[in-house]
Structure 1
């Protein structure tokens, strides 16, 4: 290739700044010089490998009775019902993993928080309080470590927050992971845990009801396997990939469900409010 002109050099520098989005850049000089071009691989005949399922939580069009005819009056009635059924607010879900606990305990009651686990829960409670959010609901798994974590967090929140227990949020094995984990094979539990954790997802993950006019903020204090599965399901990622996600103790995972049904992951396993010496995951 011959020497590059000033224009070509600037073009190459610009291409370098753009990075991996460019498939190729070709410059030929001399008598057989060809046109140069840059192509974004994702803009040329792009087809999503997986399309977003808008009806994942029953969108308004699927629950409003279809039109009986194309008459203007019938069309107006249908549109009015459709508008009334539409969500108007955002549901914010904060998924909190319990703090570090005594893994040597043989029963759930013996699997209490360690001293470090109580510190982690307290720091997370302080962090949640500092967000200056009006919390609507605190839901906690009925397992001991989640109950203790939630109790510590609640000390930092408004006294009038509604608090509930939920057995559906207990720890379990949601679905066989991919890739498989050789040393972890709880196959008998999948039949029981999978249906329960799926039911928990359906209970808490949905668009705001049409009568809700303000955004809501819900805290779910539960467990790593449950949260990881929820994240995959909410984002419509392959759920069997849940075990590839690592979550710190007392971490904050924030998911927002928009009125149009889109789901936004705002933070995952956030423990930035803790000093490194307090951060653990196992």
Structure 2
């Protein structure tokens, strides 16, 4: 009887040690909590918490030793570099336009495109957002869209910023490849600029930010689709798999921890169905 009790006790201790070790493994905790599976997680599915290089641990000066004074200094550095509030980035694709003429100056919104922008402006007004920044691509169709939206929302037009980095372009060769479209020179020319725009506007809040902030960016389809892939840490080559309508709303939130979530992706539910478009009109008709 004593031998059996000792065996049971030893076995129980062994199981306890095994499960304690499992609980110490954060990846195993995720498995148990979400999938109850031992299947390996793909590397491309893992989240890089320092994607914007603003993780406090990457900004604080490392500890020289383990003395209390040095630990206090390190903790103070962490606190000084820690974000407190979220950033909301709302991306608007320009309205429908006509691709006529040889320069951007002739690419104006159609009547339908102006109407789409008006619907979007009204929707943003209904959301009751107090905007901290409004930025628009300096291409004509984006500038015209922004101007119409600004007539509907509460923001000082003199504070709107124009940005050439947000101009439309080809960000990266897509996967799967598109056989009829191979603008290698465009990728070489545009890719670095669009990536620079992402790095300029997508990052967690500065530590001194005192409330949640809201940034409105009026831009272009390819750029927005690339931003979404990059922000969510999906393979950037998948940008062409996403389709968004003209004057649509895409809303991304960057939390203080650096985690990113998406609230809207190409939302146009507020625009009547007969006015929905996503491609350049085939015929040069400027009517609704």
Structure 1 length-normalised TM: 0.84
Deviation for aligned residue 1:103: 2.1
Query: Is the partner of 2:162 in helix, strand or coil?
Result: strand
The answer as to 2:228 corresponding to 1:231 is yes
How far apart are 1:272 and its partner, in Å? Answer: 0.7
Report the count of equivalent residues. Answer: 244
Query: Partner of 1:114 in structure 2?
Result: 110
Question: Which consecutive aligned stretches of 4+ in structure 1 deviate over 4 angstroms post-superposition?
Answer: none
- CA displacement at 1:104 relative to structure 2: 3.1
Given candidates 124, 133, 140, the residue that maps to 1:137 is 133
Question: 1:156 deviation in Å?
Answer: 1.0
Mind listing any 5+ residue stretches in structure 1 that lack a counterpart? 1-38
Q: What is the CA–CA distance in structure 1 between the aligned matches of 2:51 and 2:120, rounded to whole Å?
A: 31
Look up the SS of the partner of 1:177 in the other structure: coil
Whether 1:65 and 2:58 are equivalent positions in the alignment is no
Q: Residue 253 of structure 1: CA displacement?
A: 0.1
Deviation at 1:47, TM superposition (A): 3.1
Partner of 1:181: 178
Q: Aligned-residue CA RMSD in angstroms?
A: 1.5
Query: C-alpha separation between the residues in 2 aligned to 1:71 and 1:47?
Result: 39
1:188 CA drift (Å) = 0.5
User: Could you give the per-residue CA deviations for residues 42-92 of structure 1, whole angstroms, max 9, x where no partner exists?
Assistant: 321143212100110111101111001001111111011101110001100
More helix by share: 2
Match of 1:254 among 234, 245, 251: 251
C-alpha displacement at 1:94, in angstroms?
A: 0.4
Distance (whole Å) between structure 1 residues aligned to residue 95 and residue 153 of structure 2: 18
**Structure 2 portions without partners, runs of 5+:** 1-31, 280-288
Does the 8 Å contact 2:131/2:155 carry over to 1? Answer: no
Give the CA deviation at 1:183: 1.2
Residue of structure 2 in register with 1:42 after alignment: 35
TM-score (norm 2): 0.82
Flag the 1:83–1:46 CA change in 2: closer, same or farther, 3 A: farther
Distance 1:41 1:256, change over 3 A: closer
Q: Deviations over 1:198-237 (max 9, x none)?
A: 0000000000000001001001000000000000000000
